[in-house]
Structure 1
Amino acid sequence: MLLVKKMQIILLLSHIKNQFLLSFANNLSNYVDDNSKEGDDYVFMISGGYRPNSDFLTKSAVSIRTRQPTKFFGDNHFCNGAVVSWNIVLSAAHCVVDQYGVVTRPHRLSVIAGCSGRLKKTITCMEYKVLRIVPHSQFHRHRGNDIALLILETSFPASNKKISISSLATQRPAIGTVCQAVGWGQIYWDGPFSDEAIFVNLTVTSNDECIENYDYNFADDLLCVMGATFEIGLCRGDSGAPLFCNNKLHGILSEGKSCNSLQPTTYSAVSVHYNWIHHASSAPKVRLSFISIVIVYVSYNVLLSADEGGMFRLLRTDYVRHNRPFERTLGTIVKIFKETRSATDLLRSVHNRIAYSN
C-alpha cells in the first residue's frame, strides 16, 4: 500500500513538472516573439536609420569589399561609394589609402552594385573587379581631399534597372538643407553591420559647428552636417557613404566622432571636387582612345598596303556614306594620319587635339 502511494506521488510530481515546463516554454516563446518585434524598432531607433519607400538613392550606392568573403557573402564589406559613371565609383580616399600613404592594390577589392541587401545576392546584385584606384593627389588623413575614384574592369549594364548614375552637385547645399545618407555600416556602436541599406536624414549646418569640434582638422573642402537627435548618426563601415541633397550627390562621408552623437559629421563636398572628378575620370578614356587610334592607324595602313584591287577603299566609302557618326570619327582619324609622318608626329598630334578639346 505504501509503495502504491509513493508511485502516485511520483506520477503527480512528474505531471506537475511537465505542466510547469510546458507553460514556461510557451511563455518564453511569447516573450521572444514580442521582444523580436521590439528589437527591430530598437535597432532602427539606435541607428537612427529608416528604410525609404523608394529605392531611388540605393541604385546609386555601392558596397566596397575585399575580394574574398571570410565566411559568407557580404561579410567582407568595409566601405561605401556612389556610381558616378558606367564604370567609375566615387568613394573616400581613406578607404583605399592606409596611414602610411600606400594605395590598396586594385585586385584586392571588389564593388557590389544593384542590391540593397548586404548579405543576399539577388539576380540584380552584381560584383565588379577594380581595375585602377585614383585617390586625390593632395589627400592627407584628417586634412581634406578625402576622395578617390575606383575604375572598374567592366561597365555597369544599362539593362540593370537597380543601378543608376548619380547626378553630381555643382554648388554647395544651403545651410538648413535636409539631406539623406545611405550605407551598410554598424547599426550601433561596436554592433553588427546592417543587412539592408539604411538611410538617415542629416541637416547641413554651418562650418563653425565642425570647426568647434574638429579644430584644425576641418578643411575647406568639407561639408558639415548633423543629425536631429542623439540617436541619429553614422558608424564604422559607413565611410565613403554618399550624401544626397535634393536627389543630387553632394558629399562622400569622410569623418565622424562616433555612431550616435550630437557632434557633427564631415563629408567631402562633391561640388568642390567636381572638376577633379571629371579630369580623373577622363584620363583612362584618353589613354584608351590613343590606343584605339594607334590600332586603327596600323590596321588602316596594313589594309591599304594589301588592298591591291581597291576593295577595302570601296567598302570603306560605302560604309561611311551610310554611317554619319562613323564618318565623323573616321574623318578625324584620317585627318590625324595625314598630318603625321612618324610615331612622334602622331603622339604630338593626338596630344594637341586632346589639349585643345580640354
Structure 2
Amino acid sequence: MKLFKHNLFVLLAISLTPAYHGVEIIGGRKVKAHSKPYMVSIQVSEDHKTYTHWCGGALISENWVLTAAHCKATMQAKWKSQVVLGAHSLSQDKKSKQTVPIIKWIDYGKFNLKVLKDDIILLKLESNVKINKYVNVLKLPKTMVTDVKPGTSCSVAGWGRTSACSENASDTLLEVKLKVIDRKTCNSKDYYNHKPEVTQDMICVGDSKGRRDSCQGDSGGPLICNKMYIGIVSYGEGCADPKNPGVYTLLTKKYLDWINKTIKAQVYNMTAEELY
C-alpha cells in the first residue's frame, strides 16, 4: 500500500491511510518569522465555518497560488476552500494575515492518482492579495529547469506535526534541509522500483540517514534549491524513510509554459487552448 502525503480518505479504491491530511516536517527547525512571505496555507471547511490547514502552496502572483493537484483530488466536493497568507503562526499573527477564498482550481489536466504524474494545479483567488513585508510572491524559474544535480541541498517548509506519531500539527512554520537523490537510484529495486515511476518531470529529495523529511500535508509546498523555486511536494511512502524519499513535481518547461498560458488565458476569460 502506497502512503501519500495528504489524506485520510479512500479514493479510487486505494487506501491512503494514514497519509495526506495534516502537515509534517520531520527533523526540521522553526523558520524566522515572515522570512518566507510566499508561503500559503490552503485551508478547507466541511461546515463552511471552521477552516483547517489542508495543504501548502506558493503565491506566484497577486491572485494565483501554485500547489499539488492531489490536494484537490482528495477534497470532497461540498467543502469550501480558502488560502491564508502572511502567517507564521496559524493561530496568531492576526495583523499580518490575509485570508482569501479560492474561486477556481485549474489542473494540468493529466493528473492520475494511480501513477502520480502531473501533480500540479493552479488556484485562482477571489481577489488580489496585498503585497507587503508579510505577503509576497515566489518567482518562478526564469530559465528552463531540466534537472537538479544529485547532492544539491534544498529546503521545504510547512506547518504541522513534527513526528509520525504525533496527532497535533505545529502551529508555527517549520523548515527542513534535504538533498537531491539521483533519479536512477530512486527508481532502483531498493527504492521505489518504478512503482510508481519517477519520471523526468519529478525529482527525489530526502535524507540518506532518514533523519529529516517532508511528509503528510506538506503537499503542494515549494521545494527551494540553490535559492530557486524548483519543485512541488508531491508524494512519498512513509516518513523519513531513507529508501523511500519524498518525490516532487519538477518545474520543467512544459509546466512553466502551462502556468504562463493558463494565467494569461484567464485574463481574457478563455482556456489556454482557446488562447492559441
TM over 0.5, yes or no?
A: yes
Corresponding residue to 1:242 among 210, 219, 222 = 222
Asked if structure 2 preserves the Cα contact closer than 8 Å seen for 1:80 and 1:241, the reply is: yes
Asked if structure 1 preserves the Cα contact closer than 8 Å seen for 2:28 and 2:176, the reply is: yes
Moved over 6 A (4+): 68-72
Question: Is 1:274 equivalent to 2:259 in the alignment?
Answer: no
* 3-state SS in 1 of match to 2:229: strand
Equivalent residue for 2:8? Answer: none
Tell me how far 1:249 sits from its aligned partner. 1.0
Which structure is larger by alpha-carbon Rg, 1 or 2?
1
Distance 2:200 2:63 in 1: 29
Distance 1:194 1:113 in 2: 16
Relative to the length of structure 1, the TM-score reads: 0.61
Equivalent residue for 1:63? Answer: 41
* 3-state SS in 1 of match to 2:55: strand
Matches within 5 A, 1:1-358: 47-53=26-32, 55-56=34-35, 58-67=36-45, 76-98=52-74, 108-141=80-113, 142-158=115-131, 160-169=132-141, 170-171=144-145, 172-191=147-166, 192-212=168-188, 213-214=191-192, 215-217=194-196, 218-262=198-242, 263-272=244-253, 273-287=255-269, 355=276
Tell me how far 1:47 sits from its aligned partner. 2.2
CA pair 106-199 structure 1, distance change in 2 beyond 3 A? farther
Q: Give the fraction of aligned pairs with identical amino acids, expressed as a percent.
A: 28
Asked if structure 2 preserves the Cα contact closer than 8 Å seen for 1:209 and 1:224, the reply is: no
Tell me how far 1:220 sits from its aligned partner. 2.8
Distance 1:200 1:222 in 2: 19
Specify which structure has the higher proportion of helix. 1
CA deviation map 1:230-269 (0-9, x unaligned): 2211221211121111222111100011222213110001
CA pair 59-106 structure 1, distance change in 2 beyond 3 A? farther
Equivalent residue for 2:13? Answer: none
Structure with greater contact order relative to length (CA < 8 Å, sep ≥ 6): 2
Asked if structure 1 preserves the Cα contact closer than 8 Å seen for 2:28 and 2:175, the reply is: yes
Equivalent residue for 1:43? Answer: none
Equivalent residue for 1:9? Answer: none
Relative to the length of structure 2, the TM-score reads: 0.78
The number of aligned residues is 238
Distance 1:232 1:70 in 2: 35
CA pair 54-146 structure 1, distance change in 2 beyond 3 A? same
Tell me how far 1:54 sits from its aligned partner. 6.9
Specify which structure has the higher proportion of strand. 2
Distance 1:67 1:54 in 2: 26
Distance 2:199 2:165 in 1: 28
Tell me how far 1:121 sits from its aligned partner. 4.3
Asked if structure 2 preserves the Cα contact closer than 8 Å seen for 1:186 and 1:238, the reply is: no
CA deviation map 1:265-297 (0-9, x unaligned): 100011341111111222211218xxxxxxxxx
Asked if structure 2 preserves the Cα contact closer than 8 Å seen for 1:188 and 1:260, the reply is: no
Tell me how far 1:85 sits from its aligned partner. 1.1
Structure 1's unaligned 5+ residue stretches are 1-45, 289-350
Q: CA RMSD in A?
A: 2.5
